[in-house]
């Protein structure tokens, strides 16, 4: 089963809503799930997200010879990828990307709320020097307001990455976050596991799973 674009947003792909995915997501949403299990089940969902993101890369037809001396007409990926994680929570997704794409280059951006303006501000970025020629898997587990993702995407665009080369993967989205990103960057692909109902006054996604970074890295 492969993902289908959301009816309302053709650039947003929801993972197939299988019982397996629902059970994994239920584990990580449960506030009683201990950290070891939270990490284990999150990593399984992250792996599914990365595999789905790779479905959006271009491919070319290729022919190989099998051990039975037969020709097999298949496909090969065309184009190179890299990851960019939005620190800190996005770093939790780096291992899942490395498991699927060995040797993948991974850049980082650090965006935090500016205490004076209350707006997201870029504090640090380090990207592969050839990023303009790569497809970028942008990593952040939660798309809440979309403020950090907006800043991170602008960093990529300034580095000459075309919008249509950016695949933003996350575990949970708020409808507000999707609206914000899709309306500003209509050519970016978003791959997500679940779309939630909204956000609370502190901008936590509802029903959500709490603070992903704190639960994953054990800093509660
Ligand atoms: N970041 C999180 O970790 N959780 C939310 O609900 C929103 C943003």
- pLDDT computed for residue 6 by the predictor: 82
| Catalytic residue of the set 37, 113, 130, 187 | 113
- Residue in the block written with tokens 């089940």: 41
144 Cβ inside 6 Å of ligand 1: yes
Distance CA 84, CA 145 (A): 19
Q: Residue whose CA is closest, atom 4 of ligand 1?
A: 211
The rounded Å distance from CA 156 to ligand 1 centre is 22
Among all chains, which residue has been given the structure tokens 């629902």?
22
Sign of the Cα torsion 10, 15, 169, 180 reads positive
What pLDDT digit, counting tens, does each position of 123-139 carry? 999 999 999 999 999 99
Instruction: Give the pLDDT of residue 2.
Output: 65
Average pLDDT across the chain, whole number: 95
Task: Tell which one of 28, 29, 144 to mutate to probe ligand 1, the residue whose CB is within 8 A of the most ligand atoms.
Answer: 144
Domains of the chain, each with CATH number or no CATH:
4-217 (3.40.50.2020)
Q: Does 212 have pLDDT greater than 70?
A: yes
In this structure, the strands spanning 134-139 and 166-173 are parallel
Is 179 a known active-site residue? no
**31-78: per-residue pLDDT in tens?**
999 999 999 999 999 999 999 999 999 999 999 999 999 999 999 999
Give whole-number Cα distances, 109 to 87, 95, 99, 128, 190, in Å: 6, 17, 21, 12, 18
Alpha carbon distance 79, 33 (integer Å): 39
pLDDT value at position 118? Answer: 74
Q: Does the active-site annotation cover 196?
A: no
Question: What angle do the packed helices 19-29 and 35-54 form, to 10 degrees?
Answer: 140
Look at residues 90, 20, 80 and name the one whose alpha carbon lies nearest to residue 54: 80
Percent of the chain clearing pLDDT 70 (strictly above): 99
* Any ligand 1 atom below 6 A from CB of 179: no
Distance from the CA of 76 to the center of ligand 1, in angstroms? Answer: 36
Question: Annotated catalytic, 102?
Answer: no
Q: Which two tokens stand for residue 83?
A: 């990851």
Supply the pLDDT for residue 18: 97
The finding on whether 205 has its CB within 6 A of some atom of ligand 1 is: yes
Neighbours of 67 (CB within 10 A): 5
Q: How confident is the model at residue 1 (pLDDT cuts 50, 70, 90)?
A: low
**Are residues 113 and 120 in contact, defined by beta-carbon separation less than 8 angstroms?**
yes
Cβ(204) to ligand 1 under 6 A?
A: yes
Task: Tell me the pLDDT tens digit for each residue of 72-114.
Answer: 999 999 989 999 999 999 999 999 999 999 999 999 999 998 7
pTM for this predicted structure: 0.94
Tokens of 111: 């965006």
Regarding the beta carbon of 142 and ligand 1, being less than 6 Å apart is answered yes
Burial classification of residue 117, based on how many CB atoms lie within 10 Å of its CB (0-12 exposed, 13-18 middle, 19 or more buried):
exposed
Segment 20-36 shows an average pLDDT of 98
Convert the pLDDT of each residue in 154-202 to its tens digit.
999 999 999 999 999 999 999 999 999 999 999 999 999 999 999 999 9
Read off the tokens for 219: 């800093």
Rounded to an integer, what is the distance from CA 117 to the centroid of its chain?
27
| CA 161 to chain centroid | 16
Q: Is the CB of 217 under 6 A from ligand 1?
A: no
What is the ipTM for the molecules in this complex? 0.96
């Amino acid at each position: 089963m492969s993902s289908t674009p959301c009816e309302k947003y053709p650039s947003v792909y929801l993972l197939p809503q299988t019982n397996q995915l629902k059970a994994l997501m239920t584990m990580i949403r449960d506030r009683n799930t201990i950290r070891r299990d939270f990490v284990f089940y999150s990593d399984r969902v992250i792996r599914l997200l990365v595999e789905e993101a790779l479905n959006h890369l271009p491919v070319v037809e290729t022919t190989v010879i099998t051990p039975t001396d037969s020709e097999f007409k298949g496909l090969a990926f065309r184009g190179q990828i890299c990851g960019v994680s939005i620190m800190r929570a996005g770093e939790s997704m780096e291992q899942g990307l490395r498991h699927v794409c060995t040797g993948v280059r991974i850049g980082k951006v650090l965006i935090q709320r500016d205490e004076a303006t209350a707006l997201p501000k870029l504090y640090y970025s380090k990207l592969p020097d050839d990023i303009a020629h790569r497809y970028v898997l942008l990593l952040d587990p939660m798309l809440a307001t979309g403020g950090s993702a907006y800043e991170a995407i602008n960093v990529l665009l300034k580095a000459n990455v075309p919008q249509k080369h950016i695949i933003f993967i996350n575990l949970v989205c708020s409808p507000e976050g999707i609206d914000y990103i899709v309306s500003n960057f209509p050519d970016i692909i978003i791959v997500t596991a679940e779309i939630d109902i909204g956000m609370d006054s502190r901008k936590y996604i509802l029903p959500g799973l709490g603070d992903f970074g704190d639960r994953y890295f054990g800093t509660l």
